[in-house]
Chain A
Amino acid sequence: MTSHAPLSIAHRRRHPLARVVVLLLALVAVGVLYAAVTGSGTASAARAAATPQQIEQGKELFLEGCSSCHGLNAQGTSSGPTLIGVGAAAVDFQVGTGRMPLAAPSQQAARGPVSYSEEQIAALAAYVASLAPGPAIPTESQLEYADADLAEGGELFRTNCAQCHNFAGRGGALTNGKYAPSLAGATPKQMYEAMVTGPQSMPVFADTTLSPESKLAIIKYVNDIQSQPTPGGLSLGQVGPVSEGLVLWIVGLGMVVAAAVWIGVKAS
Chain B
Amino acid sequence: MSTVVKAGGAGADYLDERTGLSKFMKKNLGKIFPDHWSFMLGEIALYSFIVLLLTGVYLSLFFKPSMTEVVYNGSFQPLNGIKMSEAYASTIDISWDIRGGLLMRQIHHWAALLFVAAITVHLFRVFFTGAFRKPREMNWVIGVGLLTLGVLEGFAGYSLPDDLLSGTGLRIAQGITQSVPLVGTYAAMFLFGGEFPGDDFIPRLYIVHVLLIPGIILALITAHLMLVWYQKHTQYPGPGRTEDNVVGYRLFPVYTAKAGGFFFVVFGVTALLGAFVTINPVWMFGPYTPTQITAGSQPDWYIGWLDGALRLMPNWEITAFGYTISPNVFLPAAVIPGILFTALGLYPFIEQWVTGDKRHHNILDRPRNVPVRTALGATAISFYLILWIGGGNDIIAQSFDLSINAITWTLRAMLFVVPPLVFVVTRRVCLGLQRRDREKLLHGYETGTILRMPTGEYLELHAPISDTERAVLLGHEQYAPLALEAGPDDNGVEPKQGLSTRVRARLSRAYFGEQVPVPSDGELAEAEHHAHELAERQRRQIEG
The reply to whether A and B meet directly (CB within 8 Å) is yes
Question: Judging by beta carbons under 8 Å apart, are B292 and A175 in contact?
Answer: no
Question: Judging by beta carbons under 8 Å apart, are A151 and B401 in contact?
Answer: no
The digit string for B398-411, where 1 denotes a CB below 8 A from any CB of A, is 10011111100000
Known: A225-B284, A241-B301, A245-B113. A171 touches B398 (CB 8 A): yes
Q: Residue A172 at the B interface, CB < 8 A?
A: yes
Question: Judging by beta carbons under 8 Å apart, are B280 and A154 in contact?
Answer: no
- In the bound complex, residues from chain B placing their C-beta under 8 Å from that of A165 are 295
A212-251 at interface with B (beta carbon < 8 Å): 221, 224-225, 228, 230-236, 238-242, 244-245, 247-249, 251
Question: Judging by beta carbons under 8 Å apart, are B262 and A248 in contact?
Answer: no
Known: A173-B397, A173-B398, A240-B296. A263 touches B276 (CB 8 A): no
State in angstroms the CA–CA spacing of A27 and B466 once bound together.
Answer: 106
Q: Residue B54 at the A interface, CB < 8 A?
A: no
Listed stretches A67-75, A114-122, A254-262; interface member: A254-262
State in angstroms the CA–CA spacing of A232 and B77 once bound together.
Answer: 17
Q: How far is the CB of A203 from chain B (nearest CB, A)?
A: 14
Count of chain B residues with a beta carbon within 8 Å of a chain A beta carbon = 70
Question: Judging by beta carbons under 8 Å apart, are A257 and B121 in contact?
Answer: yes
Q: How far is the CB of A255 from chain B (nearest CB, A)?
A: 5
- Checking B36, B295, B301 against A162 with a beta-carbon cut-off of 8 angstroms, the contacting residue is B295
Question: Judging by beta carbons under 8 Å apart, are A240 and B165 in contact?
Answer: yes
Count of chain A residues with a beta carbon within 8 Å of a chain B beta carbon = 60
Question: Judging by beta carbons under 8 Å apart, are B284 and A167 in contact?
Answer: yes
Question: Judging by beta carbons under 8 Å apart, are B293 and A163 in contact?
Answer: yes
A158-195 at interface with B (beta carbon < 8 Å): 158-159, 162-168, 170-177, 179-180
- In the bound complex, residues from chain A placing their C-beta under 8 Å from that of B295 are 162-166, 171-173, 180
Main secondary structure of the interface of A (DSSP, over half): helix
State in angstroms the CA–CA spacing of A207 and B422 once bound together.
Answer: 56
B248-282 at interface with A (beta carbon < 8 Å): 258, 261-262, 265-266, 269-270, 273-281
- In the bound complex, residues from chain B placing their C-beta under 8 Å from that of A172 are 294-296, 394, 398
Q: Residue A112 at the B interface, CB < 8 A?
A: no
- In the bound complex, residues from chain A placing their C-beta under 8 Å from that of B402 are 177
- In the bound complex, residues from chain A placing their C-beta under 8 Å from that of B391 are 242
State in angstroms the CA–CA spacing of A163 and B285 once bound together.
Answer: 11
Q: Residue A253 at the B interface, CB < 8 A?
A: yes
- Checking A163, A171, A260 against B44 with a beta-carbon cut-off of 8 angstroms, the contacting residue is A260
Question: Judging by beta carbons under 8 Å apart, are A260 and B82 in contact?
Answer: no
B34-64 at interface with A (beta carbon < 8 Å): 35-41, 43-44
Q: Residue A105 at the B interface, CB < 8 A?
A: no
Q: Residue A198 at the B interface, CB < 8 A?
A: no
State in angstroms the CA–CA spacing of A175 and B407 once bound together.
Answer: 11
Closest-by-CB residue of A relative to B121 is A253
- In the bound complex, residues from chain A placing their C-beta under 8 Å from that of B121 are 253, 257
- In the bound complex, residues from chain B placing their C-beta under 8 Å from that of A167 are 164-165, 284-286, 294
Question: Judging by beta carbons under 8 Å apart, are B392 and A263 in contact?
Answer: no
- Checking A150, A239, A247, A251 against B78 with a beta-carbon cut-off of 8 angstroms, the contacting residue is A150
Q: Residue B102 at the A interface, CB < 8 A?
A: yes
B123-164 at interface with A (beta carbon < 8 Å): 164
- In the bound complex, residues from chain A placing their C-beta under 8 Å from that of B299 are 241
Known: A154-B82, A252-B117. A230 touches B301 (CB 8 A): no
- Checking B117, B270, B298 against A240 with a beta-carbon cut-off of 8 angstroms, the contacting residue is B298
Closest-by-CB residue of B relative to A258 is B37
Q: Which of A152, A166, A230 has the most CB of B within 10 A?
A: A166
- In the bound complex, residues from chain A placing their C-beta under 8 Å from that of B40 are 260, 263-264
Q: Residue B500 at the A interface, CB < 8 A?
A: no
- In the bound complex, residues from chain A placing their C-beta under 8 Å from that of B405 are 175-176
- In the bound complex, residues from chain B placing their C-beta under 8 Å from that of A176 are 403-406
- Checking A166, A230, A231, A253 against B296 with a beta-carbon cut-off of 8 angstroms, the contacting residue is A166
- Checking B38, B265, B291 against A259 with a beta-carbon cut-off of 8 angstroms, the contacting residue is B265
Question: Judging by beta carbons under 8 Å apart, are B36 and A248 in contact?
Answer: no
Q: How far is the CB of B322 from chain A (nearest CB, A)?
A: 34
State in angstroms the CA–CA spacing of A255 and B279 once bound together.
Answer: 18
State in angstroms the CA–CA spacing of A158 and B290 once bound together.
Answer: 11
- In the bound complex, residues from chain B placing their C-beta under 8 Å from that of A149 are 81
Q: Which of B36, B39, B279 has the most CB of A within 10 A?
A: B279
State in angstroms the CA–CA spacing of A30 and B32 once bound together.
Answer: 97
Known: A240-B298, A256-B114, A259-B265. A245 touches B281 (CB 8 A): no
- In the bound complex, residues from chain B placing their C-beta under 8 Å from that of A239 are 296, 395, 398
- In the bound complex, residues from chain B placing their C-beta under 8 Å from that of A247 are 277
Question: Judging by beta carbons under 8 Å apart, are B77 and A151 in contact?
Answer: yes
Q: Residue A36 at the B interface, CB < 8 A?
A: no
| Ranked 10 nearest A-B pairs via Cβ | A172-B295, A245-B301, A264-B37, A232-B278, A177-B403, A173-B397, A167-B294, A260-B40, A173-B394, A260-B37
29 A-B pairs with CB atoms under 8 Å apart are A151-B77, A151-B78, A151-B79, A151-B80, A154-B82, A155-B286, A162-B293, A162-B294, A164-B295, A167-B284, A168-B284, A171-B295, A173-B397, A175-B404, A179-B397, A179-B401, A235-B278, A241-B280, A241-B304, A242-B301, A242-B304, A244-B277, A244-B300, A251-B277, A256-B266, A256-B269, A257-B37, A263-B40, A264-B38
B residues adjacent to A (C-beta < 8 A): 35-41, 43-44, 77-82, 95-96, 102, 106, 110, 113-114, 117-118, 121, 164-165, 258, 261-262, 265-266, 269-270, 273-281, 284-286, 291-301, 304, 391-392, 394-395, 397-398, 401-406
Extra 13 A-B pairs, beta carbons < 8 Å, given A151-B80, A167-B294, A232-B274: A150-B80, A165-B295, A173-B295, A224-B78, A241-B280, A242-B304, A244-B301, A245-B113, A245-B304, A251-B277, A253-B44, A253-B117, A257-B37
